[in-house]
Structure 1
Amino acid sequence: MHLVEVGRVESTHPWVGILAVMLAAFVSTLSSRLTNFGIADIGAALGASVDERAWIPTSFSVAQMLMGPIAVWLGLVYGPRRVLIVGAIVFGFAELFLPMSTSLNSFLVLHFIAGLGSGTFVPLAIGVVVRNLPKAMLPLGISVYAMNLELSLNIAATLEGWHIDHGGWQWIFWQNLPLVLGLIVCVYFGIPREPTKLEVKGKGDFWGMAFAGLGFSVIYAALDQGNRLDWLSSGLIVGLLVSGAILLLAFIVHGYRNPNAFIDFKFLTQRNIIQLVVLLTIGRLLVLSSNFIVPQFLTQVAGFRPQQVGEILLWVALPQFIIGPLVGVMLRYVDARVTLVIGMSLVIVACLAASQLTSQWSETEFVPSMLMQAVGQTMFLTSLIYFMVRHLNPIQVITFGAVVQIARLMGGELASALIQTYTRVSAQIHSNLLGIHVMSGDSMVSGRIAGFSQGALTRFGILDPANTPKAIALLSGQVGNQAATLAYSDSFLLAAATAALGLVVIMSLRSPPT
């Protein structure tokens, strides 16, 4: 299937096309992120337990992963314009009816359908940038596409807090309806109509799509639930990983034996491509260092509410409207490898600065490192996708869309699983090490307990022995907070080390083909 010619068909309304790409990428990522932030309120409304509600975000992202290969084939046969409009309609109707669900099962079904609809957005949006925008606007289109990752991930907390405080959890889904309508209008007017490719219709690599879609979806589910179920201690996680590995092995064998496989494996072996896919995965991990570690620290240690956390993440989200286009303009005159190095270096410095956090940190202390990371990550992601596009010929555009979708979702989930597991284990280690020094009878420990008992826990300055257990609980809480602080500091160091590895990979990049 990848051998079919898919040449350029330039849009007559390129600015509308750019807006369509921005909305497609924005809606796809924002929907998943909003559900993660609002899962407690959604689960409570559905009467779902903590374990049951954990499958809500998984159902959406698994559907997106499953739809990726199919969307690529549908876009090749019917054209991105038709597929994006149908996908937007399916997504919109699912989002409309989701808040009306009366049970967890019906909610999961509708959420899965919404994931299928939005699963067409990202793989086809990048194809629109490459094939339908004038070449002079290519860097700008890519910068808009890339900046949406930072924008949607970091604005979600603010939107979720606003909806919960003013309208209810239902608006987590209903807010997407005007966005979907705008997307449909922009796609209709901004993306050219293409004839149906009858020579391809009915000749798709259906086995390859099934192996890839199911294999990556199953492994994604295992990664998403692994930290909660303690990985290999769970038979479910082991079963998902083994079955996913078998399906992906079948996909690889099938792809190499089938000259018309839906993913062109020769594309993956070309100069620089493997390094660029690795860098895309690294980029997803680095994004988590701002939109996962910081919110978790502020919620767990500093006691911030979700809306307060969202206000802080705006320091990363809002500058994207300036940073993204500026990077796009810069790429017209500067080698993308130079901006990759600059962006990655800024991320390293930002992560090292944030790793100095203490339990007393709040918004003010995080702002400088977050601003620096916002600039660095946007510069890195925009330059990375632009550099990848420069390796494509028209035949490989569809393959590229599939690779970006798989790397985006799977790379993000690998990074999330790594960061969450690393932070949890690190917190346990620090808690144990700190606990060794908190011994009953130790003079400093006794003094601290006495101080708690004689402080806020007493009335009229009279020591009450009944306050001793409360004082011990306060001391235990301080130890837990300090252990969590050290764990989040370690996570920033892990992000900095990963960025340093990325810098080494960037140095290995050669110039793209002519």
Structure 2
Amino acid sequence: MAEALAGAVPHEAPRNASLTDWIAVAAGSMGALLATLDISITNSALPQIQGQIGATGTEGTWIATGYLMSEIVMIPLAAWLTRVFGLRRFLIGTALMFTFFSMFCGLSSSLGAMIAGRIGQGFAGGAMIPTAQTIVRTRLPAHQMAIGTTLFGMTAILGPLLGPVIGGWLTENINWRWCFFLNLPISIALITLLLVGLPAEKMNLERFIKADWLGIIGLAMGLSSLTVVLEEGQREHWFDSLLICWLSVTMVVGFFGIALGQLRSATPILNLRLMTNSAFGSVLLIATAVGAGLYGTAYLVPQFLGILSGYNAQQAGSIMLLSGIPAFFVLPLLPRILGRYDLRWLVGIGLLLYWASCFLDTSLTAASVGHDFTVSQLLRGFGQILVMLPLSQLSMRSVQAHEAGDAAGLYNMSRNLGGTIGLALLGVLMDRRSHFHDDMLREGIPANSQLAQDHMASSTASYLAQSGDPSTASLQALTQVASDIAQQAAVMAYNDAFHALGLAMLTCLPLIFILKSRAAQAGSRK
């Protein structure tokens, strides 16, 4: 008995993360929030920015497109640049670059300067998103990773949500330039945390010299061109535009360069071999669809409220903020939920909640206002949490620790690319369905309809009493009827768009059965 007791080896308590580790995680999460926030913070301020820098509505869209174009290129490059320069040196450098270009944007007085500043911002911000996820995967032990995943995952939810709200408030109450000046104190705090939380590392310039330059050039050409084609295609009437045609050719050449890099380089810039892992590939597909839903609803709701309900940016932002309320109630419980329950089922429940929120918004009318979105926004908030946070953890648990940087790049790239594709497809859908419903409504009102004639007579009499001119009154009545038809067609198109986003969530449900269970994840890390 004594020998048995002597031979027994007690189980060691799992190692807990140190204070320095948590500071590093906090720094990474702050940087990711800053980057995701600036994707959409200018959306509410675009009319004021365009007015002051002398840009038309079409030109002003490049303020957002420039950021997205450079960010999506940098995201997959971050893992390689981290290995070249070291994590701390790389992140501090990008934080300084982000601050510089933020100030540059805030002081800009021309469209060219603003677009250049936004491109620089996006390039620096794109580095902060995947590196935050890498810090969580490499600095925290497995039993505490749920907490770090929660902190990182909240940035993906709160960034696009808070961007229009903060941008709208600053624009309405102070000045649109503070959408950029706000980044200065946050960046100072971020750099301080990076200096404290991350150790210094030596540079490895040999990796820079021997890099997959064919793949890097192809990546820059392909992804940046794809983003511009998706963002500007609808406004430029797609292939009727010479710009879109040339960018499409550039995109194909770029993707061909990436493919050659996969074949010729021992360490390609994109580790696409990770996608042969069925569990990780399923995560990427779901992330793409959820990215479309996240950015799509963040576009549709304020657009509906602004155009059809007459809300200003600040009022629309307060409705958008409703979807953030669940986060503050669930956040304290999330680490325990993520650690206790099967992440696959959490993702499935989240997808169903997101579908339900979109389904509720398929019955909008021309009289719908902000409170009609209350239930759907709250459901959407719960759905986003239960999809994004487990999905973020699954993306890291599906790969080995040394693959975390490459996996984070692909995961975040797929989410952002999904958002860009989703917005492009929504633009096409809204345009075509608006025309379709407009034509159907016009065909449904025959000229000899007694109801239509009575309505026209009533409207004409009303306008005649105001103007006293019969021909003018008749023309005004016809214009009003056309406007009413266009408004109803637009509402029906919004309903179709929410229906499409809901279906996209449902189509992802079968993929949860390919995701790894907790036992399989634990086995893969041994």
Taking structure 2 as the reference length, the TM-score comes to 0.90
Which residue of 1 is the match for residue 508 of structure 2? 502
Q: How far is 1:231 from its partner?
A: 1.3
Does structure 2 retain, via aligned residues, the 8 Å contact 1:340–1:506? yes
Change in Cα spacing, 1:21 to 1:465, as seen in structure 2 (3 Å) is same
Does structure 1 retain, via aligned residues, the 8 Å contact 2:43–2:164? no
Which residue of 2 is the match for residue 290 of structure 1? 297
CA RMSD of aligned residues (A): 2.3
Which residue of 2 is the match for residue 18 of structure 1? 25
Q: Which moved more, 1:131-140 or 1:438-447?
A: 438-447
Match of 1:261 among 268, 277, 295: 268
Match of 2:339 among 321, 327, 332: 332
Residue deviations 1:441-470 (CA, integer Å, cap 9, x gap)? 53222222233344587459x996643322
Which residue of 2 is the match for residue 161 of structure 1? 168
Give matches, 1:79-478, under 5 Å: 79-197=86-204, 200=207, 202-455=209-462, 458=465, 466-478=472-484
Q: How far is 1:472 from its partner?
A: 2.3
Q: Which moved more, 1:483-492 or 1:256-265?
A: 256-265
Rounded Cα–Cα distance in structure 2 between residues aligned with 1:346 and 1:115: 31
Q: How far is 1:299 from its partner?
A: 1.5
Match of 2:495 among 471, 478, 489: 489
Match of 2:44 among 23, 37, 50: 37
Rounded Cα–Cα distance in structure 2 between residues aligned with 1:364 and 1:35: 25
Rounded Cα–Cα distance in structure 2 between residues aligned with 1:269 and 1:257: 19
Q: Which moved more, 1:190-199 or 1:46-55?
A: 190-199
Rounded Cα–Cα distance in structure 1 between residues aligned with 2:485 and 2:268: 55
Which residue of 2 is the match for residue 3 of structure 1? none
Q: Which moved more, 1:250-259 or 1:319-328?
A: 319-328
**Between the two proteins, what is the percent identity of the paired residues?**
25
Does structure 2 retain, via aligned residues, the 8 Å contact 1:458–1:464? no
Residue deviations 1:213-243 (CA, integer Å, cap 9, x gap)? 2211111111111111111222211221222
Helix, strand or coil at the partner of 2:210 = coil
Which residue of 2 is the match for residue 77 of structure 1? 84
Q: How far is 1:189 from its partner?
A: 2.1
Q: How far is 1:426 from its partner?
A: 0.9
Which residue of 2 is the match for residue 5 of structure 1? none
* Greater relative CO (CA pairs within 8 A, separation 6+): 1
Match of 2:57 among 13, 36, 50: 50
Which residue of 2 is the match for residue 4 of structure 1? none
Give matches, 1:55-74, under 5 Å: 55-74=62-81
Rounded Cα–Cα distance in structure 1 between residues aligned with 2:53 and 2:40: 19
Rounded Cα–Cα distance in structure 1 between residues aligned with 2:112 and 2:216: 27
Does structure 2 retain, via aligned residues, the 8 Å contact 1:453–1:468? yes
Does structure 1 retain, via aligned residues, the 8 Å contact 2:220–2:254? no
Rounded Cα–Cα distance in structure 1 between residues aligned with 2:275 and 2:143: 27
Unaligned runs of 5+ in 2: 1-14
Equivalent AA in structure 1 for residue 256 of structure 2 = L
Change in Cα spacing, 1:112 to 1:54, as seen in structure 2 (3 Å) is same
Q: Which moved more, 1:479-488 or 1:263-272?
A: 263-272
**Structure 1 or 2: larger helix share?**
2
Residue deviations 1:275-296 (CA, integer Å, cap 9, x gap)? 2111110011121343111111
Unaligned runs of 5+ in 1: 1-7
Rounded Cα–Cα distance in structure 2 between residues aligned with 1:170 and 1:285: 29
Change in Cα spacing, 1:9 to 1:110, as seen in structure 2 (3 Å) is farther
Count of matched residue pairs? 506
Does structure 1 retain, via aligned residues, the 8 Å contact 2:45–2:167? yes
Does structure 2 retain, via aligned residues, the 8 Å contact 1:343–1:376? yes
Helix, strand or coil at the partner of 2:363 = coil
Equivalent AA in structure 2 for residue 90 of structure 1 = M
Change in Cα spacing, 1:204 to 1:10, as seen in structure 2 (3 Å) is farther
Rounded Cα–Cα distance in structure 1 between residues aligned with 2:228 and 2:101: 21
Change in Cα spacing, 1:99 to 1:25, as seen in structure 2 (3 Å) is same
Does structure 2 retain, via aligned residues, the 8 Å contact 1:290–1:370? no
Q: Which moved more, 1:18-27 or 1:386-395?
A: 18-27
Change in Cα spacing, 1:50 to 1:202, as seen in structure 2 (3 Å) is same
Residue deviations 1:19-39 (CA, integer Å, cap 9, x gap)? 223221211111120123322
Larger Rg: 1 or 2? 2
